């Protein structure tokens, strides 16, 4: 029998019935924190500060090639895969589908931070079943590929954490996701063997004890199972219920695979677009986008760096700022603040506010330069060059500002900063047309000045 519904008007409502009203009020918007330079801007501390009022903190891309340091109650925590908000006991931490996860590294990271005092995390960690797995052989392949490039004079300075090869597996659709590890073990095993065989055809020196690895992942499957969820729906409900969601970007805008200084970039989108694809959050749900800017510029590894200081001042910044990579321990290259670079990353990300970190590292400089423009082949340009060869050729126009030669580490109010330090902050706001809402003047969470 076929049932028929009779409709009496063109709107589909019965005559005389009131039209159902849909909600027009907006759910709480998601706040995003992104690195605005080449990484190492101090995002972890900013996330930790804002996570004290957050319900959920998410990682949306990258892997354990990223490193965020948080100092809380005198204890220094290093996070690579875990969202920095995990030390907030009231906050849930989500590792999203866009992240690539090396399970041995994740459990090692958990153990290290538990030994430093991290507790009560078991009910506050959520991992997407769509996140791809980084295997040890991906890391071997990463090393082989970097060696090949190095022999050709094309070294990229990769962390050798297997991130690039894992994203390559994802793109060629033979990667393996967390959900598959937790599903049919035979199917997982067959996919694992096929992936190993493919890489061994490409790299005959690749050595993998397949049986041993599969046994190891049987154990990992049960260890990780309690934390794995379908996170798209989970985050949708969090946003709809008005929970405060904070997204922690890994790496930084100038390392974005599309918008960074390609090929000296990472293998994921670490600009604002990666938030949507890496978590399943629609653009309409994104509210504040906070760009984290170091008071000078640093870069790890190879690639162009227009404002780099290969002199005593650069060395002073490196030493005072303790500029060594959290993940790689490599020495960071240092240079003056680069406004054309920041204008470019602002175009891509649309910062609503900035956090300026490590202002105190400039305390001992009698004068400070700020790069305000680029000249290429004798002509001023109003864009950030896409070509690496062009970026190597640009000449930087600087303005020189007076230093303040006063310790700022114990200052907690903007008006208490030296006048020249205030002018430095205001110059950044003027040039970028984005407000600075926070200023970092030390390592601890208490050393953030709110404006």
Q: Which of 102, 170, 244, 294 is catalytic?
A: 170
Does 45 carry a binding-site annotation? yes
240 is in an annotated binding site: no
- The single residue of 68, 132, 160, 369 carrying the catalytic annotation is 68
CA trace torsion 129, 36, 260, 386 (10° rounding): 150
Residue 309: phi and psi, rounded to 5, are: -110, 100
43 annotated binding-site participant: yes
State yes or no: 39 annotated in a binding site: yes
- C-alpha–C-alpha distance, residues 129 and 327, integer Å: 25
243 is in an annotated binding site: no
68 catalytic? Reply is yes
Out of 40, 48, 55, 256, the active site residue is 40
Contact 411, 449 (CB under 8 A): yes
Nearest to 285 by CA among 239, 232, 346: 239
Query: 261 a known binding residue?
Result: no
173 is in an annotated binding site: yes
280 assigned to a ligand binding site: no
Q: Is 323 annotated as a binding residue?
A: no
Residue 440, annotated ligand binder?
yes
- Annotation-wise, does 88 bind a ligand? no
The answer to whether 90 is a known ligand-binding residue is no
> Residue 175 CB: number of other CB atoms within 10 A?
21
Residues 109 and 82: their CA atoms lie apart, in Å, by 8
Annotated active-site residue 129? The verdict is: no
- 359 known ligand binder: yes
Please tell me whether 41 is known to bind a ligand: yes
Which parts are annotated binding residues for IMP?
A: 40-43, 65-68, 159, 173, 251, 266, 330
Which parts are annotated binding residues for substrate?
A: 326-332
Which parts are annotated binding residues for GTP?
A: 39-45, 67-69, 332, 358-360, 440-442
Which parts are annotated binding residues?
A: 39-45, 65-69, 159, 173, 251, 266, 326-332, 358-360, 440-442
Catalytic residue positions, numbered: 40, 68, 170
Which parts are annotated binding residues for Mg(2+)?
A: 40, 67
């Amino acid at each position: 029998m076929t049932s028929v519904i009779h409709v009496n008007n063109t709107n589909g409502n019965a005559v005389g019935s009131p039209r159902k009203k849909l909600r027009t009020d907006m759910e709480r918007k998601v706040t995003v924190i992104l690195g605005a330079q080449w990484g190492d801007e101090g995002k972890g501390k900013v996330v930790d500060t804002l996570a004290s009022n957050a319900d959920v903190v998410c990682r949306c891309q990258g892997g354990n090639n990223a490193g965020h340091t948080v100092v809380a109650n005198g204890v220094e925590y290093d996070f690579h895969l875990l969202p920095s908000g995990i030390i907030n006991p009231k906050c849930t931490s989500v590792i999203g589908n866009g992240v690539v996860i090396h399970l041995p590294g994740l459990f090692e990271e958990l153990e290290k931070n538990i030994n430093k005092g991290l507790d009560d995390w078991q009910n506050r960690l959520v991992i997407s079943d769509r996140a791809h797995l980084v295997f040890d052989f991906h890391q071997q392949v990463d090393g082989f590929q970097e060696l090949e490039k190095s022999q050709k004079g094309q070294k990229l300075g990769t962390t050798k954490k297997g991130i690039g090869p894992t994203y390559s597996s994802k793109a060629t659709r033979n990667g393996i996701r967390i959900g598959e590890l937790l599903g049919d073990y035979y199917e997982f095993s067959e996919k694992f063997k096929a992936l190993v065989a493919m890489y061994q055809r490409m790299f005959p020196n690749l050595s993998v004890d397949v049986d041993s690895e599969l046994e190891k992942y049987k154990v990992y499957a049960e260890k990780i199972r309690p934390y794995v969820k379908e996170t798209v729906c989970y985050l949708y409900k969090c946003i709809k219920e008005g929970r405060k969601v904070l997204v922690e970007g890994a790496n930084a805008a100038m390392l974005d695979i599309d918008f960074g200084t390609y090929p000296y970039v990472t293998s994921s989108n670490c600009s604002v677009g990666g938030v949507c694809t890496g978590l399943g959050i629609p653009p309409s749900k994104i509210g504040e986008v906070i760009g984290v800017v170091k008071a000078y510029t640093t870069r790890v590894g190879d690639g162009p760096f227009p404002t780099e200081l290969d002199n005593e001042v650069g060395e002073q910044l490196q030493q005072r700022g303790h500029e060594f990579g959290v993940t790689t321990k490599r020495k960071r290259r240092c240079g003056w603040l680069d406004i054309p670079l920041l204008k470019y990353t602002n175009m891509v990300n649309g910062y609503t506010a900035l956090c300026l970190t490590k202002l105190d590292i400039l305390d001992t400089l009698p004068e400070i330069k700020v790069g305000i423009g680029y000249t290429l082949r004798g002509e001023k340009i109003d864009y950030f060059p896409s070509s690496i060869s062009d970026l190597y050729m640009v000449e930087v126009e600087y303005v020189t500002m007076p230093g303040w030669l006063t310790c700022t580490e114990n200052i907690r109010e903007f008006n208490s900063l030296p006048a020249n330090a205030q002018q430095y902050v205001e110059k950044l706001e003027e040039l970028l047309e984005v407000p600075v809402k926070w200023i970092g003047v030390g390592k601890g969470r208490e050393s953030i000045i709110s404006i």
